Amino acid sequence: MDRELLWALLKLIIFLPLVLGLLYLTLRHGLGRRLLPGRGQHLEVVEQIPLGPKAVLSLVRVGERYYLIGHGEGAVTLLKELEGKFAAAPVEPFPSLVNHWLRRLQEGKRRASD
C-alpha cells in the first residue's frame, strides 16, 4: 500500500475513537447536563420545551407544588402555579434522530447476520 494511505488510516484509527470519546463525555457530563432535566432534593425540572433559540418553557416541582416558568435571555417569568401531579418524561440519552439511525444500523446488522 501507499505510505500516505497507511498514514491516513493510522490517523483515522487513532483520532476517530478519540473524537467519539470526547463527544460521549461532552454529552454525558457537559452539554448533556444542560439539555437534560435537572433533579435535586427539593427542586426538580420535570420537563422543558424550547420555544426558540433563547427561550424555554419549564415545568418545575418545588416540594409538592408545580410551577410553569418561562425563561429566556435575561428574564425569568412565573407563568402559572399548577394543580395536580406530573411525572417526569423519560429522557433519551441521545436525540431521537440519532436513536432512529442507531436502531436502523442495528436492524441492518441483524439482517446481515441472518
Can you give the pLDDT at residue 29?
67
| pTM for this model (two decimals) | 0.45
Average pLDDT over residues 73-88: 84
Q: Is residue 96 part of a domain?
A: no
Average pLDDT over residues 63-74: 90
Give yes or no: residues 54 and 83 share one domain.
Answer: yes
Q: Is residue 113 part of a domain?
A: no
Any bridge partners for residue 36, and if so which? none
Give yes or no: residues 11 and 45 share one domain.
Answer: no
Give yes or no: residues 30 and 47 share one domain.
Answer: no
All three cell numbers of 77, joined, read: 417569568
Tell me 42's DSSP state: S
Q: What is the residue range of 12's domain?
A: 1-35
Give yes or no: residues 42 and 79 share one domain.
Answer: yes
- Please name the residues in contact with 63: beta carbons below 8 A apart, sequence gap of 6 or more: 42
- Under the banding of pLDDT at 50, 70 and 90, the label for residue 9 is very high
All three cell numbers of 86, joined, read: 406530573
Can you give the pLDDT at residue 105?
74
Alpha-carbon distance 36 to 95, whole Å? 11
Pairing of strands 75-82, 65-72: antiparallel
Give yes or no: residues 47 and 30 share one domain.
Answer: no
How many domains is the chain partitioned into structurally? 2
